[in-house]
Amino acid sequence: MTESKLLSALYVKYDISNLKLGKIGDKLGDLYEEFVVSILNCDEFLQDFNINKTYNSFEYELFYKILNACELSFSDGIQRIEATSEIPHRSTGGLPKTDVIATVFLSSGECRNYPMSVKQSTVPKVAVAEFDVGTIAAEVGITDPRLIYLLTKHQTDKSAKNFTQVERDDLRTLMKPIAREFVRWAITGSPKKSEDLSFPHYLVKFHLAKESYKLNRYNVFDIDDYVDHIMVGKNGKIKSGGYGTGLSWTYATGSAGKRIQFKA
């Protein structure tokens, strides 16, 4: 990965090299949110974008790819971008899944908001949601009593270890019609695309080296594309894991038997 002076300065600012293991995850989360906000607020990058300039730095490449994922181009006539990590709570009072909102002002006078999730990790899969079955059913809109029973059994048993083959098949069959909405809910907090800015429409995902926590690579996704990334295998078929969701179904140590944790 190309060196970034801005990113290096943020690692110093957040004192990453001297942090204890228990604090480093939260600080890296704050660091990468600030990094994305700084990139999006850079007037120089916007000037380059508006003349359709090709990449000349890692930071500009990231700026370009985020706007490209948002389906913005130089022809849109972007006047300015205001990005922030100050995100309103969900309308229900819950914590937002959005980490950064970019407000884009166009020459036409139109103003558009682009809510984004910003994630960083040293491992291939990270926890994206952890809830009890009652909350899952309410937020996803699950009403089928058989599916609720099977989800509850999975929660209580901490896995499908005690499932019969019929129960495993039933869970997969009943999840199939709602699998895409289920995955979108796990990632964004909402089973459908929402105008509520606390639910992200885009994801910027940074992959870090395990020992040094330095950036190795990154991806920028529209959430629909990221759902496909989770659910669809390289062969173009729906993955069999996670009962057709592609998610890993597990539990956190402190909530075993009380909640289901999903990883992606």
Alpha helices in 141-240 (DSSP H): 145-157, 165-175, 179-188, 223-231
Residue 1 near residue 58 (C-beta atoms within 8 A)? yes
Q: Are 207 and 218 in contact, with CB atoms under 8 Å apart?
A: yes
Rg of the chain (C-alpha set) = 20
Question: How would you write the pLDDT of the chain (264 residues) with one tens digit per residue?
Answer: 567 999 999 999 999 999 988 899 999 999 999 999 999 999 999 999 999 998 989 999 999 999 999 999 999 999 999 999 999 888 777 789 999 999 999 999 999 999 999 999 999 999 999 999 999 999 999 999 999 999 999 999 999 999 999 999 999 999 999 999 999 999 999 999 999 999 999 999 999 999 899 999 999 999 999 999 999 999 999 999 999 999 999 999 999 999 999 999
Q: 198: closest CA among 117, 131, 119?
A: 117
Domain ranges of the chain: 5-123+194-221, 127-192+229-263
Which CATH code, of 3.30.390.50, 3.40.1350.40, 3.30.70.260, 3.30.460.10, is assigned to 5-123+194-221?
3.40.1350.40
**Could you give the angle at the alpha carbon of 129 between the alpha carbons of 151 and 215, nearest 5°?**
145
CA 221 remoteness from chain centre: 9
The pLDDT of residue 1: 56
Q: What is the DSSP letter of 53?
A: P
Alpha helices (H) in the chain, listed in sequence order: 5-13, 21-40, 43-50, 58-69, 133-140, 145-157, 165-175, 179-188, 223-231, 241-244
